[in-house]
Amino acid sequence: MDSKTASSASSSRRVALFGNVDSTGKTGQDVRRNQTPLVNINPFTPESLLIQSVTQQRTNRKRAHWNDSCGEDMEASDAETEEEILPPPKRITMMESNMKSRYTSEFHELEKIGCGQYGAVFKCVKRLDGCVYAIKRSKKPLAGSVDEQNALREVYAHAVLGQHPHVVRYYSAWAEDDHMLIQNEYCNGGTLSDITAANRRRLTFLSELELKDLLLQVTRGLKYIHSSSLVHMDIKPSNIFISRKTVSSVDACDEEEDESDGTATSIVYKIGDLGHVTRVNNPQVEEGDSRFLANEILQEDYSNLTKADIFALALTVISASGAEPLPSNGDRWHDIRQGNLPPIPQVLSQEFLSLLKLMIHPDPARRPSTSDLIKHPVLLTAARMSADQLRVELNAEKFKNALLQKELKKAQIAKAAAEEKVLSTDRVLTRSTVQSNPKTSRLIGKKMNRSMSLTIY
């Protein structure tokens, strides 16, 4: 087969990401060839290894069948070779999955809310459901670049992780015009980096209790990620998103209408930007921000990847405490990697400082795991605060239900009163009509002969 024919055969095997697929999941061309449809294999799913194994076994069986049928001395035609011995499935690229703009047809763009090296994030309203989402749009060009690998890695990780209160929720992703677009949950509080910068300008800091709550919530998100045998590898303030929810703190037992409602703001921290996620086993490490990078990763020691996330989380909390911007290199950078905390411009308890110091220990094996952190005595106060916040939200929901029940009772009473008023009006009208026209009093049997019944005993 010459190169032109081979190129034509290779092109004919390419399918679009949104192409026509039959009920078995194969395109029309794939059905004719009886081959596996050309789709991306998610490297973060256990099924991916099975899919690759089955594909290889099918190829080996086809090759063995061809050898048995034709014999070693017989030559098959080029067409037969193309049908039976196929190259490994080719990954779908950005260029192969372009389609009509879904972004403009399904979403109304409100504003740009973020911009970085990867691309831009826009606040959008989906035209169909009217809800607000964050749409991340990659920079151009993307196809064939390292950025494309990161974009696909983020989609793979989101799809595997599913939904968790402390991980930014993923809805969908698609490609158009050489861009990758990812539809995520919109977090109305911005990022931890935004909050830290605003606090620095106002010369204010998060309190120790708030720092503990931050540490506890992000640790819960990391524990969920680590439980899937994945690591984030880019924990930092700009990748911690904030959702703010205002709830009523009025106790549900208080049903006075004119009672002024107290309110409390619930702050939920969520881990986002999964472009550097990789597996714990057989990792493909893409180094994140050097300011939060553990030294062992720089030395290409990947034996304790989960502890690299712990190291970055400690420096994230330290940054939120009001510390000066962390160094990206130099003596200060190495000093932190020796286990020394950078200066913190507020008084924190010695127990909390000791925990942060342990989280950046030079030996990753000495750093606590996510399970250790969640159960650590220092964070019990933050856990109790979370429980109190949940109680506040529960009381708020009970209060809302009580108000609804009260409104429903009022509506039922008003309805019954209205019905009684209508019935009373009808009775009054009937009596007045009879009195004004006595002839109408005999409505039954009028102008008719009386019947007579005789009973003989």
**Residue 448, pLDDT above cutoff 90:** no
* DSSP-derived secondary structure letter, 308: H
Mean pLDDT of 183-193: 95
DSSP string, 270-295: EE---TT-EESSS-------GGG--H
Q: Which residues are documented as binding site?
A: 113-121, 136, 239, 273
> What pLDDT score does 91 carry?
56
Rounded distance, CA 159 to CA 170, Å?
7
Calculate ∠ Cα 153-154-155, nearest 5°: 90
**Residue 305, pLDDT above cutoff 80:** yes
Element (H, E) at 327: none
Closest to 396 in 3D by CA, of 253, 248, 244, 220: 248
Mean pLDDT of 360-386: 88
> What pLDDT score does 255 carry?
38
Peptide bond into 88 cis (omega under 30): no
Residue-range domain boundaries for the chain: 16-91, 97-185, 192-394
Q: What is the per-residue pLDDT across 149-161, written as a single tens digit (0 to 9) for each? A: 778 888 989 988 8
> What pLDDT score does 256 carry?
39
> What pLDDT score does 138 carry?
85
> What pLDDT score does 115 carry?
85
Rounded distance, CA 250 to CA 381, Å?
23
**Residue 16, pLDDT above cutoff 70:** no
Q: What percentage of the chain exceeds 70 in pLDDT?
A: 63
End-to-end CA, the chain? 119
> Are 160 and 48 a contacting pair, CB within 8 Å?
no
Which one of 30, 178, 234, 289 is the catalytic residue?
A: 234
**Residue 111, pLDDT above cutoff 60:** yes
Q: Which residue has the higher pLDDT, 61 or 97?
A: 61
Report residue 417's pLDDT band, with 50, 70 and 90 as the boundaries. confident
* DSSP-derived secondary structure letter, 450: P
> What pLDDT score does 27 carry?
44
> By three-state DSSP, how is residue 321 classified?
coil
Q: 3-class secondary structure for 163-223?
A: CECCECCEEEEEEECCEEEEEEECCCCCEHHHHHHHHHHHCCCCCHHHHHHHHHHHHHHHH
- Worst-scoring range by mean pLDDT, 189-193, 255-259, 385-389, 418-422? 255-259
* DSSP-derived secondary structure letter, 160: H
Most confident of 176-180, 217-221, 404-408: 217-221
**Residue 433, pLDDT above cutoff 80:** no
Q: What is the per-residue pLDDT across 112-155, written as a single tens digit (0 to 9) for each? A: 998 877 789 999 999 999 999 999 998 766 666 667 777 888 89
Q: What is the per-residue pLDDT across 18-61, written as a single tens digit (0 to 9) for each? A: 334 444 444 444 444 455 456 667 777 665 555 555 555 555 55
> Are 289 and 234 a contacting pair, CB within 8 Å?
yes
Q: For tokens 């999941």, name the residue.
A: 25
> Are 137 and 181 a contacting pair, CB within 8 Å?
yes
**Residue 71, pLDDT above cutoff 80:** no
Give the number of other Cβ atoms within 10 Å of residue 290's Cβ. 13
Mean pLDDT of 73-96: 48
**Residue 162, pLDDT above cutoff 80:** yes
Q: Which residue has the higher pLDDT, 353 or 151?
A: 353
Q: Which CATH class is domain 97-185?
A: alpha beta
Which pair of tokens denotes residue 60? 């080996």
Looking at CATH, the fold of the domain delimited by 192-394 is given as: Transferase(Phosphotransferase); domain 1 (1.10.510)
Q: Which residues are documented as binding site for Mg(2+)?
A: 239, 273
Q: Which residue has the higher pLDDT, 367 or 160?
A: 367
> What pLDDT score does 39 carry?
64
> What pLDDT score does 168 carry?
95
**Residue 164, pLDDT above cutoff 80:** yes
Rounded distance, CA 163 to CA 380, Å?
25
| pLDDT, the chain, mean | 76
> What pLDDT score does 211 carry?
94
- Based on the residue annotation, tell me whether 234 is a catalytic residue of this protein: yes
- Worst-scoring range by mean pLDDT, 69-78, 194-203, 350-359, 386-395? 69-78
> What pLDDT score does 263 carry?
53
Element (H, E) at 153: helix 146-161
| Residue 259 CB-half CA count within 13 A | 15
> What pLDDT score does 356 carry?
97
> What pLDDT score does 175 carry?
87
pTM of the model: 0.65
**Residue 192, pLDDT above cutoff 90:** yes
> Are 85 and 66 a contacting pair, CB within 8 Å?
yes
> What pLDDT score does 50 carry?
55
Q: Which residues are documented as binding site for ATP?
A: 113-121, 136
Closest to 437 in 3D by CA, of 427, 425, 429, 447: 429
> What pLDDT score does 391 carry?
61
